[in-house]
Amino acid sequence: MKFSYKKIPLSVKILTGMGLGIIFGLLAVQFGLSKFTSDWISPFGEIFVRLLKLIAIPLILVSLIKGVSDLRSTAGLSTMGIKTILFYISTTIIAVCLGISLAYIVRPGNFFPKEQQQTLCEKYSENVESSQVEAEIVTKKGPLSFLVDIVPDNIVLASSQNTMMLQIIFFSILVGITILLLPRKKTKSFRKFIDSSNYIVLKIIEIVMLYAPIGVFALIASVISDIAGDDPSGSLSLFKALGMYVLTVTLGLFILLLLFYPILAKLLGKVKYTKFIKAVLPAQIMGFSTSSSAATLPITKKCVEDNLNVNPKVSSFVLPIGATVNMDGTSLYQAVAAIFIAQVFAVDLNFIEILTIIITATLASIGSAAVPGAGMIMLLIVLSSVNIPVEGLALIFAVDRPLDMLRTSVNITGDSVISVIINKAHSKIKT
Ligand code: ASP
């Protein structure tokens, strides 16, 4: 039988890229090749992430305008919208509560060696300060500023920044609704233009995906080499000190992945979990490699549409909103991290303070941008809401990247499950 590269499933190719990336990264650490890796390997990962981000905004614009304008009426859109938001908020709250419960059961703070506290606080104090500046910008705003922020005052400006995805979503829905309200004759040529643009964007995604195995290889290799640097023993002892904390977050994320989402997918989406995981695996790996739900969006969309038959009208609406506001992994991580830091600094939290953590972690995860490290910056808001020392952030800085990779995978899995559920509920929508 003739070997054909084309016939190998995408997930196998990406997994191979990831495996080779791990091997290369470990070898680079072993042989002190971190400079070589950052000079000659990581640019190929950077190019991949740029390509994905490049296509994310055109994808949202075109597919959302098309998705909304193809609906029969605005009533369908509003019920889908309300259901989606309700699902997103409830899964996030469940994730926070799971994180808090695990942090109280495992008590990771009690395993943290006290002598490391001072060293870490000094080592990462600068990083904490710069995160504080970013978090302050958010907290200084009024309570309704998030609503104001959703509405763009300049669409060109909003499209130029990947962190303003909600504004693009708002604009696209507005254009879609306007098309619905106008007589069809008047919008004929624009709809044709959007249809063709949609084909072009989807083809570009296919082209970019050809490069995915190499991109994933380069991303994973450089992350491993960045984390360990040329001093693997130093990083290893840090990981040991923070081992219980890392374990608690990881355990929570895996409970979401292997227990919570399967139940949701089976009960409400009527999809077997093995089928579901197989279908979204490429997107999960991409989330893991890029640490960005926004960059992963094109692949998440392709996976649920091609492998789970989710109607593009549903995925075009549910997934971009999910990538920006639905971050179950991030909210769970923020809950565990807050309680871990409180335990290390011996801060006792009462019932009201725990409730405050539930509310702020939910809001902070919604407010986190879908880019690497955003969840950690927003964690500062959670910490300050209950007077946990913000310097505590320094304790967890060193292990944030691997946890970010994991939580991003969980974030996009959560979005995919909800897209399947909403698709089931709106199965009457015609493609
Ligand atoms: N990197 C995460 C995402 O894009 C956000 C975070 O938790 O930092 O989903």
Q: In the chain, what are the domains?
A: 9-426 (1.10.3860.10)
Q: Which residues of 229-267 are buried (b: 16+ CB within 10 A; e: fewer)?
A: eeeeeeeeebbebbebbbebbbbbbebbbeebbbebbee
Q: What's the confidence (pLDDT) of residue 5? A: 73
Query: Is pLDDT of 153 > 50?
Result: yes
| Residue of 131, 362, 376, 411 to test ligand 1 pocket, by largest number of atoms within 8 Å of CB | 411
Question: Which atom in ligand 1 lies closest to the alpha carbon of residue 408?
Answer: 9
Q: How far apart are CA 68 and CA 383, in angstroms?
A: 39
pLDDT exceeding 90 applies to what percent of the chain? 59
Using an 8 Å Cβ cutoff, are 265 and 259 in contact?
A: no
**CA-nearest residue, atom 1 of ligand 1:** 372
Count the alpha carbons within 13 Å of 176 in the hemisphere toward its beta carbon. Answer: 28
* Cα-based angle 117, 118, 122 (whole degrees, multiple of 5): 120
Q: What's the confidence (pLDDT) of residue 189? A: 95
Query: Is pLDDT of 192 > 70?
Result: yes
Average pLDDT, the chain: 89
Pick the most confident of 6-10, 201-205, 337-341: 337-341
Q: What's the confidence (pLDDT) of residue 230? A: 63
Q: What's the confidence (pLDDT) of residue 132? A: 76
What separation in Å is there between the alpha carbon of 365 and the centre of ligand 1? 9
Question: 189: which 2 tokens?
Answer: 């040529």
Residues with CB under 6 A from ligand 1: 291-293, 327, 330, 368, 370-375, 404, 407-408, 411
Single-letter amino acid, residue 206: E
Mean pLDDT for 211-238 is: 83
**CA-nearest residue, atom 2 of ligand 1:** 408
Query: Is pLDDT of 430 > 60?
Result: no
What separation in Å is there between the alpha carbon of 323 and the centre of ligand 1? 9
Identify the weakest region by mean pLDDT among 125-129, 165-169, 171-175, 409-413: 125-129
| Residue of 293, 296, 382, 415 to test ligand 1 pocket, by largest number of atoms within 8 Å of CB | 293
Q: How distant, in Å, are the alpha carbons of 35, 244, 249, 329, 380 from that of 238?
A: 22, 11, 16, 23, 22
- The tens digit of pLDDT for each residue in 229-261 reads 766 776 677 777 789 999 999 999 999 999 999
Q: What's the confidence (pLDDT) of residue 431? A: 46
For 44, other C-beta atoms within 10 Å of its C-beta total: 16
- Rounded to the nearest 10 degrees, how much is the dihedral formed by the CA atoms of 139, 140, 145, 149? -80
Question: 260: which 2 tokens?
Answer: 């919570």
- This prediction's pTM: 0.88
Helix (H), strand (E) counts: the chain = 22, 0
Query: Is pLDDT of 216 > 60?
Result: yes
- The tens digit of pLDDT for each residue in 336-346 reads 999 999 999 88
What separation in Å is there between the alpha carbon of 290 and the centre of ligand 1? 10
**CA-nearest residue, atom 6 of ligand 1:** 375
